[in-house]
């Protein structure tokens, strides 16, 4: 990899030294040792492949890199916990995402950072780029725009479109929760769940938990429980209220929601006062996933909960999206899926949860990203679900 030979501005700082020249490159999969190799890889031989694809576009799935390549698309408006830092500053994260796709799923990822935040422009740009890719991974796009962008792209494209901040987080959260419920002898139908944060992750987690059988679920934002008795709800929050708090008649403040609850899932930032945390039920489960500062610090959480999870790698039970998205796309690509369905997401969560097996403890409700079984197990479950849901081409 070529890099600027001159000293770089932050030389000697390990993280900047690692990023020098970027974190990825393209590598040829065929050799070019002589003119015969050249004539097959490029002109004149390549023309035969082009003509064949022109006659039958399905040949693209066999004779190009397209079906194993995902576009990692962002507008830089919700990058990590840094917020709206723009497309240029988002590139190191998108490169990192591409590295994770390759390392944990064998999927080629191309970072695409768009210099627009206009919903229509983003959608039109991605639609025009889509012939070059087997799938679209939306990343770090702020809510509520991210919901419309994903929904409209799904309508227009016949390849998987997946907003990882929503669905990757939801899949891993559900997997960890399934094991935590098993450990504490609970079942989803009788478990009271509170989610703080009604953005991309909060909405997706709520939806997948409902799919998994949770009945008593509320989502809170800065103004309290998201319920239809409020007059300030956006269309997304209004729909969310109808699926959650309205069904049980719950409303009020965050403290009202916490009292007697079994599970807290935080995807909001901020800090939950300990006196509120203390009102949860016995053997509570706390997933405080804001990074780098969890909504409930693990030291506090352990005083009131049996199982504690965070988004950080320096505490047990890390809710890490890398457990989900590489395997989900690997499985979708293996069967040339046209979409990623709810059934495929549930299958991914179930496969992740099952890997813990008899090793289940309070400190281990989710496998490590470095467990070599993770990617293949998720991919196999997703591929099977794609066939079952009728979106597999092979």
Catalytic residue among 23, 59, 97, 215: 97
Is position 42 annotated as part of the catalytic site? yes
Output the six-digit token pair for 98.
């591409």
CA-CA distance, 173 to 165, in Å (whole number)?
Answer: 12
CA-CA distance, 11 to 224, in Å (whole number)?
Answer: 46
Give, for 135, the enclosing helix (H) or strand (E). strand 135-138
In this structure, are residues 141 and 163 in contact, taking their beta carbons and an 8 Å threshold?
Answer: yes
Bridge partners (DSSP) of residue 195 are 219, 265
Catalytic residue among 23, 35, 42, 207: 42
Query: What does each C-alpha distance from 206 to 177, 185, 369 come to in angstroms?
Result: 12, 21, 24
357 backbone dihedrals φ, ψ, rounded to 5°: 55, -135
- Map tokens 């210099």 to a residue: 115
| 54 Cβ neighbours under 8 A, 6+ residues apart | none
Contacts 24+ apart (CB under 8 A), 342-346: 342/208, 342/211, 343/385, 343/388, 343/389, 344/382, 344/385, 344/386, 344/389, 344/391, 345/167, 345/170, 345/171, 345/208, 346/174, 346/208, 346/211, 346/212, 346/385
Is position 97 annotated as part of the catalytic site? yes
Query: What does each C-alpha distance from 42 to 35, 65, 157 come to in angstroms?
Result: 10, 15, 30
DSSP 3-state of 264:
strand
b or e along 147-180 (b: 16 or more beta carbons within 10 Å of the residue's beta carbon)? bbbbebbbeebebbbbbbbbbbbbbbbbbbbbbb
Q: Which is nearest to 136 in space by CA: 328, 323, 375, 349?
A: 328
CA-CA distance, 109 to 337, in Å (whole number)?
Answer: 17
User: What DSSP line would sit under 23-63, residue for residue?
Assistant: S-----SS---SHHHHHHHSTTHHHHHHHHHHH-GGGHHHH
Catalytic residues: 42, 97
């Amino acid at each position: 990899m070529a890099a600027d030979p001159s000293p770089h501005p932050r030389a000697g700082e390990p993280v900047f030294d690692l990023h020098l020249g970027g974190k990825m490159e393209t590598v040829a999969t065929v050799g070019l040792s002589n003119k015969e190799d050249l004539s097959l890889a490029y002109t004149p031989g390549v023309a035969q492949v082009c003509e064949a694809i022109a006659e039958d576009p399905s040949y693209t799935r066999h004779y190009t890199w397209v079906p194993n390549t995902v576009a990692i698309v962002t507008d830089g408006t919700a990058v990590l916990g840094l917020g709206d830092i723009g497309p240029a500053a988002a590139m190191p994260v998108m490169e990192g995402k591409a590295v994770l796709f390759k390392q944990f799923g064998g999927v080629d990822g191309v970072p695409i950072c768009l210099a627009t935040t206009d919903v229509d422009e983003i959608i039109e740009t991605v639609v025009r780029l889509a012939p070059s890719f087997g799938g679209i991974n939306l990343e770090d796009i702020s809510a509520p725009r991210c919901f419309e962008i994903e929904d409209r792209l799904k309508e227009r494209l016949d390849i998987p479109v997946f907003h990882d901040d929503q669905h990757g987080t939801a899949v891993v959260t559900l997997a960890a929760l399934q094991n935590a419920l098993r450990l504490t002898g609970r079942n989803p139908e009788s478990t009271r769940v509170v989610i703080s944060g009604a953005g991309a992750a909060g909405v997706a987690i709520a939806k997948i938990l409902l799919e998994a059988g949770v009945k008593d679920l509320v989502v809170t934002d800065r103004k309290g429980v998201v319920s239809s008795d409020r007059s300030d709800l956006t269309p997304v929050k209004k729909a969310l209220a109808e699926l959650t708090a309205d069904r049980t008649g719950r409303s009020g403040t965050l403290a009202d929601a916490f009292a007697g609850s079994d599970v807290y899932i935080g995807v909001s930032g901020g800090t939950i006062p300990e006196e509120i945390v203390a009102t949860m039920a016995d053997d509570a489960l706390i997933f405080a996933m804001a990074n780098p500062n969890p909504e409930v610090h693990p030291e506090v959480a352990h005083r009131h909960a049996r199982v504690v999870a965070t988004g950080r790698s320096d505490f047990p039970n890390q809710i890490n999206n890398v457990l989900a998205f590489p395997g989900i796309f690997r499985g979708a690509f293996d069967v040339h899926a046209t979409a990623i369905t709810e059934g495929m997401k549930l299958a991914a969560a179930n496969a992740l949860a099952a890997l813990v097996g008899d090793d289940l403890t309070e400190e281990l409700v989710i496998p490590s990203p470095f467990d070599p079984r993770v990617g293949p197990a998720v991919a196999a479950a997703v591929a099977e679900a794609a066939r079952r849901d009728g979106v597999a081409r092979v």
